[in-house]
């Protein structure tokens, strides 16, 4: 299965659970065992556990499978039901569950709101028009990064599911408490039977910034790709030069080179080279004109990559020849 096919066919379930504070450690042991069992089922892709945050007071567990059928097999399995029975002693109330199927990207980079609606068949057209007005209003709010709407899944979930993504919890809160949202909710009184859940996950430590003691918003996918490129090119070339005297066959050289590149980027070059170099461009500070930051960032990238290219060219063709 190709990456595009996986993204298109994948199914995700987002589970929210209130945990008794005094049983949090026991719950985590139980949840890790649940994830281990899930990983043995066909089609399992990943499982993520997020503890409560300021934006989300519940524990959130996200499971991703390569298809709705495989996700449904896991949800309805005897193995899962037995473990759910054993884990009820750690929970305060009944968990909530939202299933997302289709070309949805996992809620991994931004603060994501998952909202499920029960919609009567005769009101579907009105609901879709109402959701369109929601998207139009959200588009005007800072930090809004897009939304997706998913139809009910026969035999698994009767509700419609909407995903809304924001740069930060503060941006999300500005929308949730806004007069515009309250007005739209009043317009859709027949759709008030809904559940809302926030998934606030970080994306790892490659692009972890802080501004005035607060976590900054994640850079866009485009900027992330450019930053990785700025790091990847010199790192891969220098490691290739370093391992060249070993005269390894291509398959082995690529295997070892990729491993060393990944380790170097995670622990050294990204946190100590690219992030300091492009910090303001990747995560612009407040109060500074965005156009100025973008120009400086692009100029820095062009200058650095030109210097790297020239140095590598001279080093491998004039000063030293790879043979």
The two tokens of residue 217 are 């918003």
Residue 207 binned pLDDT confidence (cut-offs 50, 70, 90): very low
Rounded distance, CA 224 to CA 218, Å? 9
d(CA 40, CA 57): 30
pLDDT band at 198 (very low <50, low <70, confident <90, very high): low
Over residues 158-176, mean pLDDT: 80
Share of the chain above pLDDT 90, in %: 9
pLDDT surpassing 90 at residue 300 = yes
Nearest to 265 by CA among 234, 291, 240: 234
Question: What is d(CA 74, CA 78) in angstroms, rounded to the nearest whole number?
Answer: 9
**Is residue 5 predicted with pLDDT exceeding 90?**
no
Domain spans of the chain? 3-200, 210-319
Query: What CATH number belongs to 3-200?
Result: 3.30.70.100
pLDDT the model gives residue 298: 93
Mean pLDDT, all residues of the chain: 79
């Amino acid at each position: 299965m190709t990456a595009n096919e996986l993204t298109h066919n994948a199914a995700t379930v987002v589970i929210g659970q209130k945990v008794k504070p005094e049983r949090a450690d026991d719950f985590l042991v139980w949840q890790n065992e649940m994830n281990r069992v899930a990983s043995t089922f066909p089609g399992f892709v990943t499982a993520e556990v997020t503890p409560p945050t300021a934006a989300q007071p519940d524990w959130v567990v996200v499971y991703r499978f390569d298809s709705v059928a495989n996700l449904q097999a896991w949800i309805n399995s005897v193995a899962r039901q037995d473990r759910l029975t054993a884990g009820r002693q750690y929970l305060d109330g009944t968990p909530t569950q939202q299933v997302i199927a289709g070309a949805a990207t996992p809620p991994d980079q931004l603060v994501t709101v998952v909202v499920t609606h029960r919609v009567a068949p005769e009101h579907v057209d009105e609901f879709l028009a109402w959701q369109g007005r929601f998207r139009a209003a959200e588009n005007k709010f800072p930090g809004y990064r897009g939304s997706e709407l998913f139809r009910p899944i026969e035999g698994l979930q009767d509700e419609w599911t909407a995903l809304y993504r924001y740069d930060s919890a503060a941006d999300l809160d500005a929308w949730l408490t806004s007069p515009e949202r309250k007005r739209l909710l009043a317009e859709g009184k027949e759709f008030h039977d809904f559940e809302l859940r926030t998934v606030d996950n970080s994306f790892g430590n490659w692009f972890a910034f802080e501004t005035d003691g607060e976590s900054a918003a994640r850079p866009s996918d485009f900027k992330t790709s450019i930053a990785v490129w700025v790091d990847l090119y010199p790192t891969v070339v220098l490691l290739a030069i370093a391992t060249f005297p070993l005269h390894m066959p291509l398959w082995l050289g690529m295997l070892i080179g990729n491993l060393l590149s990944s380790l170097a980027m995670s622990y050294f070059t990204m946190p100590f080279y690219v992030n300091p170099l492009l910090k303001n461009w990747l995560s612009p500070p407040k109060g500074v004109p965005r156009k100025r930051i973008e120009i400086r960032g692009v100029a820095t990238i062009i200058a650095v990559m030109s210097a790297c290219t020239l140095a590598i060219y001279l080093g491998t063709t004039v000063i030293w020849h790879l043979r």
